Chain A
């Protein structure tokens, strides 16, 4: 047993989790930085491009619409990534599935559902404006968010169940 009250085997397991979480956390941090850069640089560029096309009297292109919709959805992508970053920060600190960690997982799921809905709205609008005959809408974001949210919710319920059962005993 060591000072933390853990025998060598669990300590090595915990170290492994922390090592991998640290790596994922670093990747997520880099992604967050990139997303901020895209939002800060991309938004004025897209607005300028759109204004330029309006002044030229040109019909909006599908590529421009896709860029605009991606940029408008980027704050939501940022929030989802931020929640995952916080989740992996807690894994990195050795707090595996306590209340706060589970809350981050649930929150990531909730925001992913919102992102999925926004993407569906943009896709529907794009399909309506550019290809009224060929509508292709994917709700995969909503399903992914629902799965993450459900896993988080079951964790929280199971944890509270365990706590209440311990109290009862």
Chain B
């Protein structure tokens, strides 16, 4: 009997620890991704400045740095090779998409931080999930715009559907939470 009581106390702790561990792993992965993205962006910026200041690549020893090659891809049919010559509308929509992806990572990090704290059905979590859905919809719209700019008619609307589903599930969670709160108040 005593053993069962101990097990009952230990099990929720185990579950909570498991959720915390998984959330921590996801947060570390997000952190690594953010650092890698920042490093790559920084390197590209630095390379662009060096290229612009020298009017081309400086010679480094015997190896001429013109062998450097890089390409930036905003969507499947919007890829640009070094030296970049990106049209302004594509650059702007691409920047919006990058901003959305960055904010998506921040929101995801916040959501995992809340899970790590042991908050599951609170307003903050639901707001994060709703924002994630909206960001996915935004990314899908910018992707579609970029593909249209590349005169492609093979468009993919799965991101929009996925974003809508996430927003809808978050809305149902919110409504469920409110129903529970109102029922508790009524009782």
Interface of A toward B, CB cutoff 8 Å? 1, 6-7, 9-10, 13-14, 16-17, 20-21, 24, 84, 91, 96-97, 105, 134, 136, 138, 140-141, 144, 147-148, 150-151, 153-155, 157-158, 160-161, 164-165, 167-168
Contacts and interface: CB of A to CB of B under 8 A. Distances in A.
B153 to A, nearest CB: 12
B9 interface: yes
Looking at chain B's contact residues, the main secondary structure is: helix
18 contacts: A1-B186, A7-B182, A10-B186, A13-B175, A14-B179, A17-B175, A84-B165, A140-B158, A140-B159, A144-B136, A148-B165, A150-B26, A151-B129, A153-B22, A158-B121, A164-B8, A168-B9, A168-B12
B79 interface: yes
Interface string B147-187: 00000000000110010011011001101101100110010
A84 B9 CA distance: 35
Given A13-B179, A96-B176, A97-B173, A164 B115 contact: no
Given A13-B182, A21-B172, 18 more contacts: A14-B179, A16-B175, A17-B175, A17-B176, A96-B176, A96-B179, A136-B76, A136-B79, A138-B76, A140-B159, A141-B158, A147-B132, A151-B129, A154-B120, A155-B120, A158-B19, A168-B8, A168-B9
Nearest to A168: B8
Contact of B15 (A97, A140, A157): A157
A52 to B, nearest CB: 23
Nearest to B179: A10
Interface of B: 5, 8-9, 11-12, 15-16, 18-19, 22, 26, 73, 76, 79, 115, 120-121, 129, 132, 136, 158-159, 162, 165-166, 168-169, 172-173, 175-176, 178-179, 182-183, 186
Nearest to B164: A24
Given A134-B79, A164-B11, A167-B8, A154 B19 contact: yes
Contacts of A155: 120
Contacts of A148: 165-166
B5 to A, nearest CB: 8
B122 to A, nearest CB: 11
A53 B36 CA distance: 46
A158 B173 CA distance: 13
Contacts of B9: 168
A84 to B, nearest CB: 7
Contact of A157 (B19, B73, B132): B19
